[in-house]
Amino acid sequence: MLKKPLSAVTWLCIFIMAFVSHPAWLQKPSKRKTPAQLKAANCCEEVKELKAQVANLSSLLSELNKKQERDWVSVVMQVMELESNSKRMESRLTDAESKYSEMNNQIDIMQLQAAQTVTQTSADAIYDCSSLYQKNYRISGVYKLPPDDFLGSPELEVFCDMETSGGGWTIIQRRKSGLVSFYRDWKQYKQGFGSIRGDFWLGNEHIHRLSRQPTRLRVEMEDWEGNLRYAEYSHFVLGNELNSYRLFLGNYTGNVGNDALQYHNNTAFSTKDKDNDNCLDKCAQLRKGGYWYNCCTDSNLNGVYYRLGEHNKHLDGITWYGWHGSTYSLKQVEMKIRPEDFKP
């Protein structure tokens, strides 16, 4: 009577209980498989693997493709770059070519200038009497040195001594007639004055310029008895105007007995209007000349010209203390220079 519905409920309960307590029992397939099931699984695994391999291969392929593409692109890019490079190179080349031709032109100009420099500094240049001598001008007398832009020298009239001690001397001072006053100012001593065949001062500016190469100075003197003496100095330099035409001398050689110019070594030039001497006095005014006055004189080659009879009474005459003392004025003097390396 009541057994049927109860049993139904019981079964339901059991079912539910079983379901709740073992939920996987219904879903989970058994771990153990039948041979058929195994075969199917194996096949699936193989297929899966093959598929994976295919996928791998195709991915590899596409990767390769991509890489190839990239390679190709990079090759194209490289080609393009090469092309543009070569274009750039070409333009650079044309640039370089034009620059090269420009340089060639400049080199031509420079070679021209160098050639001029060479001719202007070589023995061809007429720099002084020694260069005239080397060009076979062997007669003493007046010569005109041409102006020279390169040397910065103006046209200059000079008197060349082509005989004494081998010749090649440019005379910078002469006293022999007494017709020219040497009591002059700074500007006149700078530019030079007098007569080239008679008494003259070549000019401090010219003497300075001529002494820029290693130079010898020779001083020749004659007294009223007709005796001749000379004094020579190596390393003669006349400073520029900024240095007040300061005198520099090397060692003395000669036959005048006592050197009377070394006392004036390393001394500035003074004139009646410019007192550069080493004295409280104004030596140029006392000795009536322009000279490298120290305090004041051991020689006074630009002093007053005194004639015979007057020649031994004055302190401001043309004196060389080491020969005839401080009051004997000489009859003739010549100062001349030539390059140290001059060879007759």
- Smallest separation (angstroms) from Ca ion to the CB of 184: 18
Omega before 296 cis (within 30°)? yes
Report the residue number, 86 or 266, with the smaller CB distance to ligand NAG. 266
- Smallest separation (angstroms) from ligand NAG to the CB of 284: 21
Give alpha helix (H) positions in 144-199.
186-191
DSSP class of residue 11 equals H
| 183 contributes a contact to ligand NAG by CB under 6 A | no
Q: Do residues 286 and 296 lie in contact, with contact meaning Cβ atoms separated by under 8 Å?
A: yes
The residues that bridge with 228 in the sheet, in sequence order, are 222
| 258 contributes a contact to ligand NAG by CB under 6 A | no
Report the residue number, 49 or 310, with the smaller CB distance to ligand NAG. 49
* CA 135 to chain CA centroid, nearest Å: 32
| 191 contributes a contact to ligand NAG by CB under 6 A | no
| 251 contributes a contact to ligand NAG by CB under 6 A | yes
- Interface region with ligand NAG, contact rule CB under 6 A, candidates 19-27, 38-46, 140-148, 249-257: 249-257
Give the contacts of 14 (CB within 8 A, at least 6 positions apart). Answer: none
| 47 contributes a contact to ligand NAG by CB under 6 A | no
Question: Which residue in the set 265, 285, 312, 327 belongs to the binding site for ligand NAG (CB under 6 A)?
Answer: 265
Other C-beta atoms closer than 10 Å to the C-beta of 212 total 12
The binder of 279, among Ca ion, ligand NAG, none, by C-beta within 5 to 8 A per type, is Ca ion
Question: Which residue in the set 137, 230, 248, 321 belongs to the binding site for ligand NAG (CB under 6 A)?
Answer: 248
Both tokens of 281, joined, read 């006095």
- Smallest separation (angstroms) from Ca ion to the CB of 278: 7
Task: Return d(Cα 307, Cα 298) in angstroms, integer.
Answer: 21
Give alpha helix (H) positions in 168-296.
186-191, 204-210, 283-287
- Smallest separation (angstroms) from ligand NAG to the CB of 52: 5
Question: Which residue in the set 37, 68, 84, 266 belongs to the binding site for ligand NAG (CB under 6 A)?
Answer: 266
Residues near Ca ion (CB under 5 A): 275, 277, 279
Give alpha helix (H) positions in 178-319.
186-191, 204-210, 283-287
Task: Return d(Cα 131, Cα 125) in angstroms, integer.
Answer: 7
The binder of 248, among Ca ion, ligand NAG, none, by C-beta within 5 to 8 A per type, is ligand NAG
- Smallest separation (angstroms) from ligand NAG to the CB of 72: 24
- Phi, psi (degrees; rounded to nearest 5) at 279: -135, 155
| 52 contributes a contact to ligand NAG by CB under 6 A | yes
For tokens 């004036």, the residue is 264
Residue ranges that bind ligand NAG, judged by CB under 6 A: 52, 56, 234-235, 248-251, 262, 265-266
